[in-house]
Amino acid sequence: MKNLLLIVFLLSSFSSFSQSNWQQFKKLSSPKKTWVLFHPFKAKRAFEISKEANRVADSIKKSPLLDGDAAGGQVDAFRHAYWMARLRKEIGKNAARSLGKAHEKENYQTYKERKLEDGVVPDKISSDMDLFNNEVGLSISSTKKGLVYKIINLIHKGKLKVIKKDANGNFLTCDGFIIPPDSLKGKWVNNKCLVHSNYKQ
């Protein structure tokens, strides 16, 4: 079935499917390849928006607008909400949501292979956070110009989710106890805690 879909995809987009596009496609995880096969005419735009979301989030990380934390913090939450809001505008809500879900399936594969995402091994709580923030992004209707500040305001109002940490970046349980890093190794499910995005350390 997957091979048949690949053939259909290649035939339907042969005229515009360059060698560089093929190289990019080969690098994708299997969940994202499947998404591309079902959304061949939206894939290029989605790729451009994904790069845009990373660039904007990198800029925000260097500013004092959020906490500077791109791995479970406000910047991470911002990136996912911005990504989904832009994708909704450009490729539609359903296609955007399914790409977000494909990304989280990719993160589970990354976890199983013990690879890093944003400098850490992914886990279920990070995936739950991303999916929540994706839904917030999908609910936002805004021009591109006003989108950054709209999402930052939502973060400051606590409308998104982040992972609970102390001022030194240690992960905390919901009861506020430091989680020893060694206890997190190799665990998809752990006792990290999701909190509102305006949580004060």
What pLDDT does residue 112 have? 73
Tokens of 103: 């990304």
* Side-chain half-sphere exposure of 119, counting CA atoms within 13 A: 5
Give the max Cα distance, the chain: 57
Mind spelling out the 3-state secondary structure of 81-113?
HHHHHHHHHHHCHHHHHHHHHHHHHHHHHHHHC
* Chain centroid to CA 58: 14
Nearest to 131 by CA among 193, 75, 91, 83: 83
pTM of the model: 0.86
Contact assessment for residue 35 and residue 113, using Cβ atoms and an 8 Å cutoff: no
- Cα 49–Cα 50–Cα 52 angle in degrees, nearest 5: 60
Contact assessment for residue 151 and residue 197, using Cβ atoms and an 8 Å cutoff: no
- Cα 62–Cα 200–Cα 192 angle in degrees, nearest 5: 90
Q: In 54-68, which positions are buried (b, 16+ CB within 10 angstroms) versus exposed (e)?
A: eebbeebbeeebbbe
The 10 Å Cβ neighbour count of residue 151 is 29
What pLDDT does residue 3 have? 40
What pLDDT does residue 109 have? 80
* pLDDT by 10-residue block (mean), the chain, 201 residues: 41 49 71 86 92 96 96 97 96 95 85 64 90 97 89 98 96 95 88 96 75
What pLDDT does residue 145 have? 83
